């Protein structure tokens, strides 16, 4: 059944007036009586179309249920800003895999350093990539992508998580040694191409982060968040 | 220490006459007395340069050891041929993560269907991507990339593996239910954008493959091999 996102929770009826209406009527050629799923904040609303033209689609909510595709853990990736279009790949792939949010940040060795103002156009693009990947993969939420943070801003956010990991190529424990069953809000902090300065790592550790070492093979900075998301979804029974 | 691959095993000395010599002398500006690592078939040879110019670099082997970066399992990805340049991304990322070999094959729903002859130029490019990723990530081998196989050719190859998994979006067990400790040669079969026909899956199952289901979220075809490689490396203690 085709899935779309709703900007607000639904009660008995729905009304779509954005580009999804064009998609539903023209591309999918759906008709009165056809069924679609609308998602909002992890809830799937199973709907029936009762009225349709090229600009609006409306109908009734038949039933609703918690989205089966949302993982049992909320995983946020704190990603030091990478070069080129690597953040696009990271957002697309981690969204498919079940990430809750992606927080780009600027560390000392970041080559690409957009400020928040420059970033506003990019954020629009990143949010679109996240929404598309969420739709395609059948997610129940669209992961939120934040504007680039400073390390201090990241550290303030860490109190929202019950487990904070930082990937460090020089040392750290193994992911397999962590008992994930106790944690529901997990943050993973990942460096850019050049990795982290030691004092940056220690700053995060002082704020409660646990160092993780991903083994002998050196992963490119975009491979790390994709792999970590897959592994954590597997270790928490979500994949 | 800079790492390069040797085409043959080494005894007491080494001689480099290919483009690596230019890289070592001009880009890295290495000198007599400097150390490099040469790798062949999972063995690291720690070497000292005794003679260097822009076309040849030679020297002595100081010691050798099994490459620490090679995983304890040999994982082969059988990948139904995807569209666009997705196979490049799959080869690069799975090489970083520790794959042993990538075998593209043609299934019914493949949109892109190169024959073996058309493929020879592409194979050169894919092998280069694999070699570059192996060098960058510190691998002890360069994963082999094969020319596209038919499903029957794939099935003949499956007798080389002690565990064969096939990813199927409709049904299958979970990766976490498998005790990987008994297996050293693992094959994972993955579909293209359109997935597999049921009879293709059953053909692989009759040849000994076990169906695996990756959960509620629908992964793009290139996300699947990258995620599976990361998860298997994690579950086998290699990441």
User: Between A218, A228, A238, which is nearest B215 by CB?
Assistant: A238
Residues of B with a Cβ under 8 Å from any A Cβ are 68-69, 92-93, 96-98, 136-139, 174-176, 214-220, 223, 226-228, 230-231, 233-235, 237-239
Q: pTM value?
A: 0.93
Which DSSP state fits B221? T
Of A215 and B117, the structure prediction assigns the larger pLDDT to A215
For an interface test with A, which of B70, B230, B232, B235 has the most A Cβ atoms less than 10 Å from its Cβ?
B230
Of A18 and A183, the structure prediction assigns the larger pLDDT to A183
The predicted pLDDT at position A53 comes to: 92
Residue from A188, A2, A9 nearest A100 by CA: A188
**Residue A176 C-alpha, separation from nearest chain B C-alpha, in angstroms:** 7
| Relative orientation angle of helices B223-235 and A86-97, to the nearest 10 degrees | 70
Cβ–Cβ below 8 Å for A217 and B137: yes
A to B CB pairs, distance under 8 Å: 105
The predicted pLDDT at position A120 comes to: 85
Q: A86: number of CA atoms within 13 Å, CB side?
A: 21
Spell out where B113-234 has E strands.
144-145, 163-167, 185-190, 210-212
Q: Which helix (H) or strand (E) holds A36?
A: strand A35-40
Contacting residues of B for A134, CB less than 8 Å apart: none
What average pLDDT does range B184-202 have in this prediction?
96
pLDDT tens readout for residues B65-109:
999 999 999 999 999 999 989 999 999 999 999 999 999 999 999
Contact A96, A124 (CB under 8 A): no
For an interface test with A, which of B1, B137, B174, B217 has the most A Cβ atoms less than 10 Å from its Cβ?
B217
> Which residues does B55 contact at the CB level (< 8 Å), separation at least 6?
B17, B21, B22
pLDDT for residue B156 is more than 80: yes
Task: Return the SS3 of A148.
Answer: coil
| Relative orientation angle of helices A223-235 and B223-235, to the nearest 10 degrees | 60
User: Between A137, A176, A227, which is nearest B217 by CB?
Assistant: A137
Strand duo A35-40 + A57-66: pairing: unpaired
What average pLDDT does range B142-166 have in this prediction?
96
Kindly indicate the confidence band of residue A97, based on its pLDDT and cuts at 50, 70 and 90: very high
pLDDT tens readout for residues A104-133:
999 999 998 887 777 888 999 999 999 999
The predicted pLDDT at position A75 comes to: 98
pLDDT for residue B116 is more than 80: no
pLDDT for residue A188 is more than 80: yes
Handedness of CA B24, B27, B31, B36 (dihedral sign): negative
The predicted pLDDT at position A214 comes to: 93
The predicted pLDDT at position A49 comes to: 96
The predicted pLDDT at position B50 comes to: 96
pLDDT for residue A26 is more than 80: yes
ipTM of the complex: 0.93
> Which residues does B177 contact at the CB level (< 8 Å), separation at least 6?
none
pLDDT for residue B115 is more than 80: no
Closest residue on chain A to B93 (Cα): A223
pLDDT for residue A226 is more than 80: yes
User: What is the CA A159 to chain-centroid distance, rounded?
Assistant: 19
pLDDT tens readout for residues A50-75:
999 989 999 999 999 999 999 999 99
Kindly indicate the confidence band of residue A1, based on its pLDDT and cuts at 50, 70 and 90: confident
Contact A98, A233 (CB under 8 A): yes
**Residue B209 C-alpha, separation from nearest chain A C-alpha, in angstroms:** 19
Of A1 and B86, the structure prediction assigns the larger pLDDT to B86
Cβ–Cβ below 8 Å for B237 and A96: no
pLDDT for residue A84 is more than 90: no
Cβ–Cβ below 8 Å for B230 and A235: no
pLDDT tens readout for residues A138-157:
999 999 999 999 999 999 99
Cβ–Cβ below 8 Å for A223 and B223: no
């Amino acid at each position: 059944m085709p899935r779309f996102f709703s900007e607000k929770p639904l009660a008995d009826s729905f009304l779509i007036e954005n580009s999804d209406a064009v998609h539903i009527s023209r591309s999918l050629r759906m008709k009165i009586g056809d069924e679609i799923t609308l998602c909002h904040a992890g809830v799937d609303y199973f709907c029936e179309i009762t009225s349709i033209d090229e600009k609006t689609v409306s109908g009734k909510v038949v039933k609703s249920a918690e989205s089966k595709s949302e993982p049992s853990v909320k995983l946020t990736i704190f990603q030091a800003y990478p070069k080129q279009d690597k953040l696009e790949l990271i957002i697309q792939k981690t969204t498919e895999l079940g990430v809750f949010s992606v927080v780009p940040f600027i560390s000392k060795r970041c080559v690409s350093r957009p400020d928040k103002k420059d970033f506003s156009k990019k954020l629009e693009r990143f949010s679109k990539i996240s929404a598309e990947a969420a739709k395609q993969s059948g997610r129940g939420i669209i992961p939120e992508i934040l504007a680039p943070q400073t390390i201090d801003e990241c550290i303030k956010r860490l109190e929202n998580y019950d487990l904070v990991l930082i990937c460090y190529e020089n040392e750290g424990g193994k992911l397999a040694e962590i008992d994930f069953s106790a944690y529901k809000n997990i943050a993973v902090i990942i460096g850019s191409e050049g990795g982290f300065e030691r004092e940056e790592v220690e700053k995060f550790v002082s704020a409660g982060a646990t160092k993780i070492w991903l083994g002998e093979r050196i992963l490119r900075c975009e491979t790390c968040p994709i792999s970590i998301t897959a592994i954590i979804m597997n270790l928490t029974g979500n994949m």
